[in-house]
Amino acid sequence: MNTSQKLITAVLLAACALQAGAAVKKAPHKSRLSKVHLATAQLSNNAGPAYAVRADVMQEADAMADRMALDRDWVRQAIGAARYMPGIAKAILPPPVGVPKNWAAYQGRFVEPMRIKAGSQFWLANRETLQRAEAETGVPASIIVGIIGVESIYGRNTGTFRVIDALCTLGFDFPASHPKAEARTAFFRGELEAYLALTARTHTDPLALRGSYAGAMGWPQFMPSSWVKYAIDFDGDGRVDLFNSQADVIGSVANYFKSFGWKPGMPSTFPVRIDEATFDKAALLVPDILPTFNVAELAAKGVLLDAPGNQHTGPLALIELQNGDAAPQYVAGTENFYTITRYNWSSYYAMAVLELGQAVAQALEMQAPDLASVTK
């Protein structure tokens, strides 16, 4: 069984309800798409033509249906009703070459009063569930709270794009100018297959769900394949619902990190001091954010840790946070820091998650002394 077949098998075996009350049946999905959604689905004014007019896409739809053992007509209708979205194709492109990164600006987008207030409310409302998730997985509540805040502002912004439009646009028209266009095209076609298999299995209209411009869904913004692999029923109602069940959201985020090897009790970063006389920045940044160096090797290359950092026995990475024209900031990232980047391959993202979670915890402790135990 090849990798694609294994993924499809996992989807069909592990898929559960995307919406409250959705039925799960063993028989192949034969029903037609909702006429209401076909007729009234909200589309961007600059949406391109429906993919039904593309012979190459319809041929691939048939191949997908065969690989997933789904009804060809149903898959053709779903993909054929999707629209090319130029805005999505533009949004997926990396920033122009030469535009400097700016950690201060990035940090300000996520670690700000509105998210901190919303995070405090979320933490208080779900403190028992967060404590249970931390106890069962070892993933700190602050990390879970930070992820959900960065991803969707605690459910306030889960995306307005039809998931089918996003996945088809990126699966069939990924910008050729992107340096990894071929690999990314394959990735998004795989996500489209996972999405169709999941919605077919749960009898959910594939035109109904909305998410990010990349096709991520729900409060934690899981891609379809991540939904299948890592989402769990944490409220015990017999289904997984990342749109409406905050318990399922919390448990699924914790399970995601546990699955990627989160090490309970290990800090994510350590502060560092740079010895300019011996600082070998070029060599230290070659592995990027993959923990590679021990404490002694960092010191030999001009990166000095504090007392707790010097006691760390695992591998570390030098994390550089650029600040535009200003001097960059540095921290040492542990294996847990690297695990956070499995959610989004960016050190800036991981730092925002960490700092938002910490800011929410501090806000709770300041509200009242008796709340301090909530964040421990």
Give the active site residue among 60, 151, 191, 193: 151
| Burial environment of residue 35 by CB neighbours within 10 A (0 to 12, 13 to 18, 19 or more) | exposed
Helix axes of 246-259 and 141-152: crossing angle, nearest 10 degrees: 110
What's the alpha-carbon Rg for the chain, to the nearest Å?
A: 22
Helix axes of 72-81 and 163-172: crossing angle, nearest 10 degrees: 90
Interacting residues of 340 by C-beta distance below 8 A, sequence separation 6+? 143, 257, 268, 349, 350, 353, 354
* 276 is known as an active-site residue: no
Residue 154: count other Cβ atoms within 10 Å of its Cβ: 23
Structure tokens given for 63 = 């191949």
- Residue 323 backbone dihedrals phi, psi, to 5 degrees: -130, 50
Helix axes of 55-68 and 3-14: crossing angle, nearest 10 degrees: 70
Residues marked active site are found at 151
